């Protein structure tokens, strides 16, 4: 009888370690050997759960995005429209060390996805997905009359998303652009812009 193992849980566990390592030292540090060492499993086990390095990195990104997704879901629970949107934005901006690490992993992944065609498509879908979450909140806000009537939800969502990325990216390098105060002002501004339908 084979040992019973929670396969998906193992994957998540290993993915989390991979993500941490990437955030700490980039791809150079996230070697299979190191992941094995940190996880306490053997090298063979890692390869058993992930079909090669690429899948492992992909897993790390999924774990990171999953983290954001559940955080956003929890924060927006019971909310809708502008209120939900604000929470959603707060959930993605690197307001603390943990989220900053998420962004580091994203950046590492993006830099390789920008080059490999296959990953590029996947990434585009991920973006579209995230934008759609914004868009649906915006649509509700429009219905609720919180956003200027006649506004197109999708373009607004895209712009919001772009600002979000820009804000997060620059924050990674400059302390002054990653203070909670700065982020609060910018979030206020983003919401304000939405209200104006811009």
Partner DNA sequence: TATGAATGAGTCTTCATTCAT
Partner DNA sequence: TATGAATGAAGACTCATTCAT
Q: What are phi and psi of 144, to 5 degrees?
A: -75, -5
Identify which of 191, 185, 77 has the alpha carbon closest to the alpha carbon of residue 138.
Answer: 191
Residue 129 engages a copy of itself in binding (rule: CB under 8 A): no
Distance of CA 70 to the CA centre of its chain: 10
Region of residue 87 (left: phi > 0; alpha: psi -120 to 50; beta: else): alpha
Cβ at position 35, least distance to DNA in Å: 8
Residue 188 engages a copy of itself in binding (rule: CB under 8 A): no
Region binding a copy of itself by CB under 8 A among candidate stretches 49-57, 59-67, 78-86, 166-174: 166-174
Residue 110 engages DNA in binding (rule: CB under 7 A): no
The partner in contact with residue 163, picked from a copy of itself, DNA, none with C-beta cut-offs of 5 to 8 angstroms by kind, is a copy of itself
Cβ at position 98, least distance to DNA in Å: 24
Residue 38 engages a copy of itself in binding (rule: CB under 8 A): no
The dihedral sign for the CA sequence 170, 118, 161, 82:
negative
The partner in contact with residue 68, picked from DNA, a copy of itself, none with C-beta cut-offs of 5 to 8 angstroms by kind, is none
Name residues whose C-beta falls within 8 Å of residue 85's C-beta, 6 or more positions apart in sequence.
134, 137, 138, 141, 160, 191, 194
Among 11, 13, 26, 31, binds DNA (CB under 7 A): 31
Angle between helices 53-75 and 81-92 (to 10 degrees): 140
Integer Cα distance of 176 and 172 in angstroms: 10
User: Which positions lie near DNA, rule CB under 7 A?
Assistant: 1-5, 7, 10, 28-34, 41-45, 47-49, 52-54
In the complex, the residues that contact a copy of itself under the rule CB under 8 A are: 23-26, 103-104, 107-108, 110-116, 120-121, 123-124, 127-128, 158-159, 161-167, 169-170, 172-174, 177, 186, 189, 192-193, 196, 198
């Amino acid at each position: 009888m084979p040992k019973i193992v929670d396969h998906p849980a193992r994957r998540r566990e290993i993915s989390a370690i991979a993500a941490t390592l990437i955030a700490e030292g980039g791809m150079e540090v996230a070697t299979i050997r190191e992941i094995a060492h940190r996880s306490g499993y053997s090298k063979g086990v890692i390869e058993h759960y992930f079909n090669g390095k690429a899948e492992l990195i992909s897993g790390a990104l999924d774990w990171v995005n999953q983290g954001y997704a559940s955080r956003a879901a929890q924060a927006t629970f019971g909310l809708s429209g502008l209120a939900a949107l604000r929470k959603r934005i707060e959930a993605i901006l690197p307001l603390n060390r943990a989220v900053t690490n998420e962004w580091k992993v994203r950046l590492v992944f993006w830099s390789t996805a920008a080059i490999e065609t296959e990953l590029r498509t996947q990434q585009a879908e991920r973006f579209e997905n995230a934008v759609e979450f914004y868009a649906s909140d915006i649509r509700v806000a429009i219905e609720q009359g919180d956003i200027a009537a006649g506004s197109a939800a999708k373009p607004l969502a895209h712009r919001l998303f772009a600002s979000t990325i820009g804000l997060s990216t620059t924050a990674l390098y400059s302390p002054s652009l990653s203070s909670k105060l700065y982020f609060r002002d910018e979030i206020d501004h983003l919401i304000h812009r939405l209200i104006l339908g811009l």
